[in-house]
Amino acid sequence: MKTKLKKDETVALLIRPHWFTLVIPALLTVIAMIPAILFQSYAFILPLGMVCYLGYKVTQRNNNIWVVTNLRVIDEEGFFSQHTKESPLEKINNVTYEQSIWGRIFGYGNIQIQTAAGAGSTVYHMVEKPKELKDTITQMQEEYKKAQIMSQARELAKAISTGNQGFQNRVVSDELEKLYELKQRGIITEPEFNAGKNRILGL
């Protein structure tokens, strides 16, 4: 991973393209080597070229990664040239994945991430462990929202009181925790959660 992590940022998951992406280059390399093995006088340039191509594809796969942290999703690709794309967790609206029959057997699939940014929707193909990637992004989003709410509660508690600061902090934090659990259990909706949060925070 070439992207530098931010302060207090931790990696939750690192995923690469599935090894199936190397099947065709490997087959072509084997096919190119067969005549060289059968006929000693056969030029070795083509097999050598295919071996180099296979080595390049392996290196390319190792440098093409998706990293989920507690703050963002990082997409890195490229060996000679590098391209990096970042999607902050709060900007991700939806994450879906799909797997064919072969994908379910061998553990690969496609991931679609929809964001509020100008790029809109991004699809990643032939991803290993697509369900784990989706679930990790969703989990990190929930933890991020919870951390933001707790941070707001602590800041508000500090501003509200001087003499009984610790008590106010605990009360506000407990109320927000209960409200968050109600939303997680589906008892209240997102608008109801936001209204309740604003009431508790005095906004």
C-alpha distances (whole Å) from 54 to each of 18, 71, 155 are: 15, 35, 55
Q: What is the pLDDT along the chain (203 residues), one digit of tens a residue?
A: 788 888 888 999 999 999 888 888 888 888 887 777 776 655 667 777 888 888 888 888 888 899 999 999 998 887 777 888 888 888 888 899 999 999 899 989 999 888 876 556 788 888 999 999 999 999 999 888 888 777 766 666 665 554 444 555 566 677 777 777 777 777 777 787 778 777 776 65
127 Cβ contact list (under 8 Å, min separation 6) = 15, 17, 18, 66, 97, 108, 109, 110, 111, 133
C-alpha–C-alpha distance, residues 153 and 156, integer Å: 5
> What are the residue ranges spanned by the domains of the chain?
140-201
